[in-house]
Amino acid sequence: MAIYLYPQNLKATANLWLWGLRDFSILCIAALLSVVALVKLGIVIPAAMTLGYGFLTIRMDDMTVLDFIRYAVRYFISTQQYYEWR
């Protein structure tokens, strides 16, 4: 009799270190292109954008830094808070 061990949530996304697998592959390709741009053209902007993307897509407990910033902006700025005084 074979016993199979599965994770609790089979619909969970694949993660690699601190990023999702999709974000990690995009980050690797962007890092490679930004290094080429830095060496050949001397342009630093692609490297800065790659670092910014890498920071914003760090995933902890199924939530990225960008998701947290979106929720904070939605809570503090864009949606009206409802207060009831009694």
pLDDT in tens, 23-60: 999 999 999 999 999 999 999 999 999 999 999 999 88
Which tokens belong to 52? 């910014």
What local confidence, expressed as pLDDT, does residue 33 receive? 97
Q: Could you tell me the CA-to-CA distances from 29 to 41, 72, 78 in Å, in that order? A: 18, 30, 34
Give me the number of domains the chain comprises: 1
3-state DSSP assignment of residue 1: coil
Indicate if the pLDDT at residue 5 is higher than 80: no
pLDDT, averaged across the chain: 87
What local confidence, expressed as pLDDT, does residue 69 receive? 93
Question: Does 2 fall in a domain?
Answer: no
d(CA 19, CA 16): 6
Question: Does 51 fall in a domain?
Answer: yes
Question: Does 7 fall in a domain?
Answer: no
Cβ-in-10-Å burial (0-12, 13-18, 19+) of 23 comes to: buried
Residue 19 domain boundaries:
15-78
Indicate if the pLDDT at residue 67 is higher than 70: yes
State phi, psi for 15 to the nearest 5 degrees. -120, 145
Question: Does 86 fall in a domain?
Answer: no
Question: Does 54 fall in a domain?
Answer: yes
